[in-house]
A and B are shown apart, each in its own frame.
Chain A
Amino acid sequence: MIKRSIIVCFLALLAWHLAFPYLSRWYYVIPGQQRANYLRAQKFVHDSPAAARVIVGSSIADRLPDQALGPNHVKLAFPGGGAFTGLEIIRHSGRRPSVVWIETNMIMRDAEADLLENAVAPWRVELRKCSAIFKEEGRPSNFGVGIVKAAVAKACKVGGSLADGSGREPEAAKGPAPEQGMLDDVMRANRDHFERRPDVADLAKRVERLAGFVDELTRAGCQCVFFEMPIAASLVNLAEPVAVRKAVGDRFPRGTYHWLEFDSSRAYQTSDGVHLVPADADFVFERMLDFEKKQLQ
């Protein structure tokens, strides 16, 4: 029984390896935020261009528009994480981007160990080189969930067709946008978070850690640019953002390091206090492109 089970397993893997490249992506979805993060990290490790321009950060920078990024920009901004996750992935992947944009908003968050292990553990990288079925995009459930999602969408008469068949990268399931009336609690939770003053020693340690990454990247010929993503005016001057802004600003002074500044008089629109609405995210990204053109070599 054990031997026969192992043979069936091997045959199933082989069949999937052979069939996967030919399967239509019509019913296909990357289910869940976490797995979308894994997919993005794996794409950077395996498929990113040699001198990519990488944006590292949290869900706040994740709002920058995917469609506008183009082939040379890669977003290692992970919901639930912060800049350290992206920086660790760059360090361990062996890839050397030409530019690294560092979002400073969420440096109080550690690198996400599981994501890092999944993206850059040597045995996983080698396995994924052997067959695409070991990549996030090769999971059988991407098709299964896609089919069920289409059926649910049809039954509920929402969202139209699941996949548009355009061949675009499938969008991750990020959950619904909350209704305006329900956002008070979310705003309150964000306010509670930002009102906490970070531990001074901990913050200093993180800033030094950031400096270690910046030195390493600079030595490798990469240009680092710091930026703080705009958030709601009611949150921007609370204890944590102020402390982080000062600590990072003191360690990486404006004259010595590249900084992209945003117009603080502009009223940025957010969906929940911290995440920009698409129009403002587009505006921010245009500023970044402009900065690259004018300030970077």
Chain B
Amino acid sequence: MLFTSFPFLVLVLITLLLYYAPPLRSWQAMVLTAASFLFYSWEAPLLVILLVFSITINVVTSYYISRGAPGRQKFWAVTGVALNLGALLFFKYSPMFARTFFGGDHGSLGHFLMTIPLPIGISFFTFQGISLVVEVFRSKQPNDPFGYPEMVPASFKQHLQNTMLFKSFFPSLVAGPIIKAHEFYPQIRSKFVRDIPWQTAFRALVTGYFLKMVVADNLKDSTFWIEYPFFLGNSSLTLVTLLFGYSMQIFSDFAGYSLIAIGLAALFGYTLPQNFNYPYISQSFAEFWRRWHISLSTWLREYLYLPLGGNRRGNVRTYFNLFIVMFLGGLWHGAAWSYAVWGTFHGLALAAERLGRNWIRLPENRWVSVLRALTVFSFVTLAWLLFKLPKFSDVLSYLGAILHNRAATDPALVGHVFFYSLPVAGYYAWYLLKQRWSRATDYEFLLFGIMLAAIILDSGTTGKFIYFQF
């Protein structure tokens, strides 16, 4: 079910009514869980089986880590993580391994593996499950440096109920933000209408729907020309413009989705972590990853980079850790080697940047900052090509076409991309203006009013969220 669809609007309204109905107050978690299951199963009911399986793994293992025999904590933690990863590997990566190592002949193992469907949102709810298992395990260790709160109640039934909600919470179920267990469990309690942060919800929902429906969905109609073989007939200028347009589209699509999720969660009294913090003004790749898909980068840092040793084991090991984290982070995005190449590109950029910091000292002034931001943005944009064109040969053809195509530039296509990229530029400009002019917020109602009108008048044709495929 899409956030932008009519059935979804009906689902949210009915769920809100039931959720805040006084007689059902003690059933709030169940109401929200039931709505989440309906949301998840809307187009493919059988997917619920996998979600239930994933919930079961995490409820049982986290419960026994917390409440079972102390000597068996590690066993349950390893089992929990292994089963989570096993499900992810099986459902998400089987087709990729089959394509790489087996043939696709009918009746063969390769063909069987290639036909395994990718359950929507599996990457997101699996990572949330791993965070539960790991955090409960860490909280039980003596001298726990993380100071996680108690997340597992004595009652198994209560833990089951809480975990069902944590894993299936529909605003973030299929495309994040990835919530860590310690961020979510302490929020599970009775909610009241008077506690709804209306302003937060309104701002997030209007901005999110604007970015998704007006910017991303309109840009989508132009950026489809990036696909093979359509790009072959376009000029160099058009191809470069399309690439930058796709950069704007993917930001608007994913940041829009995250904002909608944050706004929806606020309506139900939950706070989700910020997922995007104006990433395209980053002056370094390290900063980019502190601003882009923050919930994933913090997850990778806490559960992969730091356990690997982070930057505490010397330079070589630090570079290796950065590289491996970004390689796996790339693969997390999609079951194709192009995503691994994309992650490797970012890993190498992070390592090179770290290395270069010791050798090159740039002057600190506004122009250098702008130049650095433009450089990072351009490289990030170039790398998005690997997202849009999962076949590596198509990426090379596209780059070749940029260099060699001499077709006439299509002003309609360029104009379309440019026009719908303007709101993203405005979004960033407003953020920078607010930092310099505190009274800017007094006039935000004008922007929100215009964004609302644009959603009504100028939404693009419906398109699935790009990150659903991950």
Contact = CB atoms under 8 A, between A and B. Distances in A.
User: Are A and B physically bound partners?
Assistant: yes
A149 B413 CA distance: 8
B415 A149 contact: yes
B411 A5 contact: no
Interface of B: 198-199, 202, 206, 218, 221-222, 225, 228-230, 232-235, 237-238, 405-416, 418-420, 444-446, 448-450, 452-454, 456-458, 460-462
B458 A140 contact: yes
Contact of B410 (A134, A173, A183): A173
A153 interface: yes
Interface of A: 1-2, 4-9, 11-13, 16, 29, 31-35, 38, 114-115, 118, 133-134, 138-141, 144-146, 148-153, 156, 158-159, 162, 173, 175-179, 182-183, 185-186, 188-189
Contact of B199 (A1, A8, A183): A1
B234 A186 contact: no
Contacts of A7: 449
Instruction: Specify which of B407, B409, B416 lies most central, judged by the most chain A CB atoms within 10 Å of its CB.
Output: B416
Instruction: Specify which of A29, A38, A148 lies most central, judged by the most chain B CB atoms within 10 Å of its CB.
Output: A148
A114 B462 contact: yes
Contacts of B202: 1-2, 5
Contacts, number: 156
Contacts of A35: 221, 460-461
B238 A176 contact: yes
Contacts of B457: 13, 16, 133-134, 138-140
Contacts of B409: 152, 156, 158, 176
Nearest to B449: A8
Contact of B411 (A32, A34, A141, A152): A152
B233 A152 contact: no
A1 B448 contact: yes
Contact of A151 (B412, B415, B446): B415
Contact of A6 (B225, B420, B444, B452): B452
Given A31-B412, A140-B457, 14 more contacts: A1-B444, A4-B449, A5-B449, A8-B452, A13-B457, A31-B419, A38-B461, A148-B415, A149-B416, A152-B415, A152-B418, A159-B411, A176-B413, A188-B229
A175 B234 CA distance: 8
Contacts of B454: 140
A158 B449 contact: no
Contacts of B410: 173, 175-176
A133 B405 CA distance: 39
27 contacts: A1-B199, A4-B445, A5-B202, A5-B449, A5-B452, A6-B449, A11-B449, A31-B222, A32-B222, A34-B461, A35-B460, A114-B461, A133-B457, A145-B415, A145-B419, A145-B420, A149-B414, A152-B411, A158-B409, A159-B411, A176-B234, A178-B232, A178-B233, A179-B407, A182-B405, A185-B232, A189-B228
A131 to B, nearest CB: 10
Given A5-B449, A9-B449, A133-B457, A177 B419 contact: no
A156 to B, nearest CB: 5
A38 B461 CA distance: 9
A8 B235 contact: no
Contacts of B234: 175-176
B415 A8 contact: no
A185 B412 CA distance: 24
Given A156-B237, A158-B408, A175 B230 contact: yes
Contact of A31 (B221, B238, B408, B449): B221
B415 A176 contact: no
B283 to A, nearest CB: 29
A99 to B, nearest CB: 29
Instruction: Specify which of B198, B410, B462 lies most central, judged by the most chain A CB atoms within 10 Å of its CB.
Output: B410
Contacts of A173: 410, 412-413, 416
